[in-house]
Chain A
Amino acid sequence: MLEQLEGSRAVARTVALCRPEVIPAYPISPQTHIVEALSAMVKDGSLTPCEFVNVESEYAAMSVAIGASATGARTYTATASQGLLYMAEALYNASGLGLPVVMTVANRAIGAPINIWNDHSDSMSQRDSGWIQLYVESNQEAVDTHLLAFRLAEQLSLPVMVCMDGFILTHAYEQVDLPSQEQVDCYLPAYEPRQVLDPDEPVTIGAMVGPEAFTEVKYLAHVKQMQALDLIGQLAGELQNALGRAQDGLLREYRCEDAETVVVALGSVLGTIEDAIDELRETGMKVGAVGIKAFRPFPVAEVRAALGHAARVVVVEKALALGIGGIVSQDVRIALAGAPAHVYTVIAGLGGRPITAASLRTLLRDADSDKLEPLTFLDLNHELVERELARTRATRRSGPHAENMLRDIGVVAAGPV
């Protein structure tokens, strides 16, 4: 049924429909509304049988999730930002042990400087953690993707992160068509674990593995991720049949057929990009977009098929790999090895800076006329940077950059000079 819902609430209600049995969670903005809603549903008995565990940290949340999942319970949690970093060690254990935990990451920047706004620094920092990563564009896609995530995780015995832009999606009210319990039950059968801690048939999970087999265990984990490339498309097809609405598989193409310039991006910014593309198309510019939904595993063949004919590929990234630039664009370059396309990296939307259609149009016009630099920081305030550099040149003890620059632009919270 169509409802006008906050993104967080839509996700919480969807997760509840997936019948999770254990939810260990620790609140952090902008994830909080999701776990608050689930906690309330467990407390009022509308989500049962399910145990909500109030843990003392994200490290504990993922550790409890590992334990719960190992006993054969369908397990869900959610986090963001520093919380995801605090989980890092346990994330590798969940994936290394092959435990199908599903986790929502309400994407948010990583400090310092402390910042609670959206970008993709958190989940990108865990791209090699062995978790499958799916990025969603809208709250409807967030809802549908959580159903797919549980199926995918449990079929492969691998954990899955559903990455949704914090605040931009989690706090947005828009119309969402939630599935019925019958639809969910039909699509998502009860969890049948491949390995389980069972007192009646005792096993250990988590052996120490030396050089004799460590590579083989890791290799197998890689093979399982690669299997997801086929499985995601298949499960998206089944989901489309179950829900009666279109589902993207690994990626989505938008007006790409004859496009000479193609934008690549992940997550909610794709909506703004599609609007900008429509406007530029009206001026005759041959421009399109590819939204990458599955970032891990990375769909090399599909990305190459979608971008191989483009002259220019502009990768708009909401995370920055200090010392090199892009993260997604490295993978895009691998996919395009030998293809004629020039690949440009654009760092945009860091720490919640809005990515506007106006800035995107200017950017794409520059790309179209081959005026784009290989690495661009969208809407960077060069003057602000130059003034801070001048201060650092003027005196040795010039002080912290963050405070100096806030004072420079007149943010009151920076305090007196």
Chain B
Amino acid sequence: MLGLAGGGEVNCMFQVRIHGRGGQGVVTAAELLSLAAFHEGRHAQAFPSFGSERTGAPVVSFCRIDEREIRTREPVSEPDALIVQDATLLHQVDVFGGLRPDGYVLINSPRSFDELGLAEWTHGFRHERLLTVPAAEISREHIGQMRPNAALLGGLAALTGVVSLDAVLHAIGDRFSSKKLADGNAAAARACHEHVLAHMQGEVSAHA
């Protein structure tokens, strides 16, 4: 199940760190990801960076996924994957801190890594695992709000294969009691999933 995009290890804990700002659903994103993994019959642990968060302040949340019971309670310091919900954090917070060399990065932005001024930083990482997606625009189109969290999880499913799109959609259906919000977020997740898949296929054919 794990590492479909790059042939990673199986039966190993997968750790995700999500960066964003208060009010962007950063904590909900980690919860949704844990729900998706739970639906697949796996163990998952999601928790926020704790504090008196205010709207707009930098916020971090974490999610661990494993085949076995998860006992550790420390924050994720060496993530396998990073989601950055707000690109304005890139030069304010050390969002890439501790990222594993074979790690995945998904940034909510219509601009490329180069355009975001991250070209130099990407050295040493696997470029096919680093991606930006216009998740805010996708979410605005499908939900009518700038709530990129669910969309990005669709993208993460495509980029990493750590959970399936179906599981993400299932989690969204469980989490949002309003049918309108559930449907909108599901559509956004699906659209972002397709966007990432299309990009990855483009990468493959470009290198073929």
Q: Interface of A with B (CB < 8 Å)?
A: 4, 6, 29-30, 116-118, 165, 167-168, 171-175, 268-272, 274-275, 352, 354-357
Q: Give 9 A-B contacts (CB < 8 Å), ordered by A residue.
A: A6-B31, A168-B73, A171-B48, A171-B50, A173-B31, A173-B47, A271-B72, A272-B72, A356-B74
Instruction: Find chain B residues with CB under 8 A from A270 CB.
Output: 71
B46 proximal to A (CB < 8 A): yes
Contact of B74 among A167, A175, A355 (CB under 8 A): A355
Segment from B3-11, B37-45, B104-112, B193-201 that makes contact with A: B37-45
Contact B45 A172 (CB under 8 A): yes
Q: Which residues of A contact B48 (CB under 8 A)?
A: 167, 171
Residues of B58-90 at the interface with A, using a CB-CB cut-off of 8 Å, are 70-75, 77
Q: Assuming the A-B contacts A274-B71, A354-B75, are A174 and B45 also in contact, with contact meaning beta carbons closer than 8 angstroms in the complex?
A: yes
> Residue of A at shortest CB range from B31?
A173
**Considering only CB atoms, which chain B residue lies closest to A360 in the complex?**
B74
Q: Which residues of B contact A272 (CB under 8 A)?
A: 71-74
Q: Across the interface, do A271 and B77 meet the contact criterion of CB distance under 8 Å? A: no
B30-A173 in contact (CB<8A)? yes
Q: Which residue in A117, A271, A274, A357 is a CB contact (below 8 Å) of B50?
A: A117
Do A4 and B34 touch across chains, with their CB atoms under 8 A apart? yes
Please report the C-alpha to C-alpha distance between residue A41 and residue B43 in the assembled complex, in whole angstroms.
Answer: 28
Cβ proximity bits B20-31 to A, threshold 8 Å, 1 near / 0 not: 000000000011
Contact present for B73 and A269 (CB under 8 Å): yes
When C-beta atoms are compared, the residue in chain A nearest to B70 turns out to be: A174
- A356 and B78 CA atoms in complex are apart in Å by 12
CB within 8 Å for A116 and B51 given contacts A272-B71, A272-B73, A356-B74 = yes
- CA A171 to CA B52, docked complex, whole Å: 13
Contacts of A173 in B (CB 8 A): 30-31, 34-35, 44-47
A residues less than 8 Å from B52 (CB atoms) = 29, 116
Contact B50 A118 (CB under 8 A): yes
Contact B44 A172 (CB under 8 A): no
CB distance from B178 to the nearest CB of A (A): 17
List the A side residues contacting B38 at CB < 8 Å. 4, 175
Q: Which residues of A contact B51 (CB under 8 A)?
A: 116-117
Residues on A with C-beta less than 8 A from B35 are 4, 173
Q: How far is the CA of A354 from the CA of B46 in the complex (A)?
A: 16
Closest 5 CB pairs of A and B: A271-B71, A4-B38, A167-B50, A173-B46, A172-B47
Give the CA-CA distance A272 to B45 in the complex, in Å: 13
Complex Cα gap A19–B36 (Å): 32
Contacts of A168 in B (CB 8 A): 47, 50, 73
CA distance A117 to B49 in the complex (A): 10
Residues in chain B near residue A165, CB distance under 8 A = 73
Task: Kindly report which residue of chain B lies nearest to residue A267, judged by CB atoms.
Answer: B73
Measured in the bound complex, the distance between the Cα atoms of B60 and A354 in whole Å is: 14
Highest count of chain A CB atoms <10 Å: which of B31, B48, B71, B75: B71
A107 to chain B, nearest CB (A): 12
Say whether A167 contacts B47, CB under 8 Å. yes
Q: Which residues of A contact B70 (CB under 8 A)?
A: 174, 271
CB–CB A357/B74 < 8 A: yes
Which residues of A are found within 8 Å of B77, using beta-carbon distances?
A: 356
Q: Pick the contact of A174 from B44, B74, B75 — CB < 8 Å?
A: B44
Q: How far is the CB of A347 from chain B (nearest CB, A)?
A: 17
Q: Chain B contacts of A268 at CB under 8 A?
A: 73
Which residues on A sit within 8 Å (CB–CB) of B73? 165, 168, 172, 268-269, 271-272, 355
**Min C-beta distance of A263 to chain B, whole Å:** 14
CB distance from A273 to the nearest CB of B (A): 9
Determine which of B34, B44, B72 lies in contact with A357 in the assembled complex, contact meaning CB atoms within 8 Å.
B72
Given A4-B34, A4-B35, A4-B38: A171 in contact with B47 (beta carbons within 8 A): yes
Q: Which residues of A contact B34 (CB under 8 A)?
A: 4, 173-174
**Contact in complex: B44, A4 (CB < 8 Å):** yes
Q: Give chain B residues whose Cβ lies under 8 Å from the Cβ of A118.
A: 50
Interfacial chain B residues near A275, Cβ < 8 Å? 71-72
